Amino acid sequence: MTAIEVRGLRKAYRGHEVVRGIDLEVARGEVFALLGPNGAGKTTTTEILEGHRRRDSGEVRVLDADPGTAGGDWRARIGIVLQNTDDAADLTVAEMVRHLAGFYPDPRPYAEVIDLVGLTPKSKSRIRTLSGGQRRRLDVALGIVGRPELLFLDEPTTGFDPEARRHFWDLIRTLAAEGTTILLTTHYLEEAEALADRLAVLAAGEIVAEGTPAGLGGRATAGATVSWREDGVLHSEQVPDPTPLIRKLVAADTDLSSLTVTRPTLEDTYLTLIGAHR
């Protein structure tokens, strides 16, 4: 069962094609991350899936409907956390969440939502008094209050400190465990690696790689770099499998206290992929 099906998606602005024939499929209950540099087409693609922007061509199905023509019942089934939203500055956090909850047929209790995003101490504070990170938490609260089947998260942890980001990751895992499908765009590669079941890399309007975080771009089968110091000299060798080399070093009674074995990180793979399509 799929939550999102995209075939041949294209979108151009003033003759410049920013989305160039994307094919994409996201399973129900999956956490899927879209990665890519600014201008790669992530936001345009996401806005088309949300029904906020019309496509030029291609087939798009989101929760078994065309988002370009879907109505209010369909919109009640999705949640959206945008990069930037307008403030209702004079409302309190509780008033804002409670107000939005009234638009959904089966919302979460507003106090529960506020607690989930860590804003209970600020529930009676006016929105204009919130810090940037707290305002971002409120954005997330507004995105999940309607119990969405599919949640769109566009750079959700911008402005979060490391502790707040980890708490947010726990929330995403909780939502995923409940069966919520999540489409995430982020510039934090460690966030994608921590949360995503699968991910895709967009560059120049095209998907240049897709897979699991561990296997993207051949990471799972990439060679390893073995480094060690011997007589004060740093040695480093790239090998398909580090085991034979390590055994050789052990047999030679080499001091292995400084030995390291590394493989390409997700960041290494990502930079290679987008660098090849600039």
Taking 80 as the threshold, does the pLDDT of residue 215 lie above it? yes
Our CA angle for 174, 179, 180, nearest 5°, is 80
What is the model's pLDDT at position 85? Answer: 58
Kindly list the structural domains of the chain, giving each domain's residue range(s) and its CATH number in brackets, ordered by start.
1-29+36-75+180-222+265-278 (3.40.50.300), 223-262 (no CATH)
- One-character DSSP codes across 36-64: --TTSSHHHHHHHHHTSS--SEEEEEETT
pLDDT digits (tens, 9 = 90+) for 9-52: 999 999 899 999 999 999 999 999 999 998 899 999 999 999 99
- The pLDDT confidence band at residue 112, using thresholds 50, 70 and 90, is very high
Strand 78-81 versus strand 150-154 pairing type: parallel
pLDDT digits (tens, 9 = 90+) for 115-159: 988 899 999 999 999 988 888 889 889 999 999 999 999 888 877
Summary mean pLDDT of the chain: 91
pTM of the model: 0.84
3-state secondary structure of 276: coil
- One-character DSSP codes across 157-214: TTT--HHHHHHHHHHHHHHHHTT-EEEEE-S-HHHHHHH-SEEEEEETTEEEEEE-TT
Give the separation between CA 181 and CA 4, rounded to whole angstroms: 9
3-state secondary structure of 150: strand
What are the C-alpha distances in Å from 256 to residues 56, 151, 223, 233, 242?
Answer: 59, 48, 20, 13, 13
- The pLDDT confidence band at residue 83, using thresholds 50, 70 and 90, is low
> Which is nearest to 158 in space by CA: 141, 136, 134, 131?
136
